[in-house]
Amino acid sequence: MTQARALKKIMALSSARSTTAVNDSDTRTTGCLLTGIPGLEHLHIWLSIPFCAMYVAALAGNGILICIILSQPSLHEPMYIFLSMLASADILLSTSTMPKTLANFWLGSSHISFDGCLTQMFFIHFLFVADSAVLLAMAFDRFVAICSPLRYTTVLTSTVIGKIVAATLTRSLIIMFPSIFLLKRLRYCRINIIAHTFCEHMGIARLSCSDISINVWYGLAAALLSTGLDIILITVSYIRILRAVFRLPSRNARSKALSTCGSHVCVILLFYIPALFSVFAYRFGGRRIPRYVHILLANLYVVIPPMLNPIIYGARTKQIWEGAKQMFSHLAKESK
């Protein structure tokens, strides 16, 4: 009912504006309507339960992971600093989408202002690019640790780590900031209904009455120059890592080197495989794959990797497990 009222409001505002000058109308002032998961509106309440549980688990898991790394001096190393960056980006990425999605599912709060939609779009894409850059930095960390272990402390100094952090944020900003202006330059003269649970670049662009070919090419170029390039560099890094590992003389040395990369490889696969599947399914699946499948995948993508990343690192990394024991035992002693 709330969604119906919001839709009527948008239609009324659009109609009011069209009576003055149709050619000059701008429906940005009426905002946008996020429909949720099209075709599954009757299941929104039930779908909200697992989504809410995964979101809370992601917040708790990544929050605890960050606290463990910050509280334990033994974990103040490049690998764990990058891991805390990944956890922070995961918290922000899931928070940029899930609260609005859950409000839509629970309260029917589907309306969002046009500027609010642009803001959400920017942070979703910005954090996705930043996540990918952090995974590349972690691959570089493993590459140096295994291929040049004697130079590890001299290569990955605090200054270098600071530069990597600055480069990650700067690249994400440079790649995604123009998208705001590319969307603002367009003319919007239709009812702004987005068949999704959150705002994304092409979803907003398709609301326009203008030519969006620049937006299409920009989106493709941004994906290739960020995620595409990161995947290539990560692949090259791990090819060289595997070559170095299999040259080690003893089996114990090889297994130890591979185990240090196991958690990172799991996180990489968890991050890129759903994203690539979603992209290819959308591009080539066409009408054979229902729309609600694409929307479900997009929503699962922003909560499942953030939820599982702390579990993967906590279960596979002895140092984090030991750090968690020390942190909780210290908190238990202080509470007595």
229-250 pLDDT, tens digit per residue, is 999 999 999 998 888 888 877 7
- Residue numbers of the domain that contains 109: 1-335
Would you place residue 64 in the very low, low, confident or very high pLDDT band (cuts 50, 70, 90)? very high
Give residue 209's pLDDT.
87
- Is pLDDT at 273 greater than 70 in this prediction? yes
Q: Rounded to an integer, what distance in angstroms lies between the CA atom of residue 261 and that of residue 139?
A: 9
H or E stretch covering 193: strand 193-194
Indicate which CATH number applies to the domain containing 308. 1.20.1070.10
**Which residues face 193 on adjacent strands?**
33
- Token couple for 334: 């202080």
Mean pLDDT, the chain, whole residue set: 84
What is residue 283's predicted lDDT score, i.e. its pLDDT? 60
Q: What are 298's two structure tokens?
A: 């997009």
pLDDT at 201 over 80: yes
- Number of structural domains (the chain) is 1
39-55: b (≥16 Cβ within 10 Å) or e: ebeeebeebbeebbebb
Q: Write down the pLDDT at residue 13.
A: 44
pLDDT digits (tens, 9 = 90+) for 146-166: 888 888 889 999 999 999 999
Edge-to-edge strands, sheet with 193-194: 111-112, 32-34, 193-194
Residue 335: C-alpha distances to residues 69, 250, 326, 332 (Å): 21, 47, 14, 5
**Per-residue pLDDT at 289 exceeds 80:** no
Helix (H, G, I), strand (E, B) or coil at 111: strand
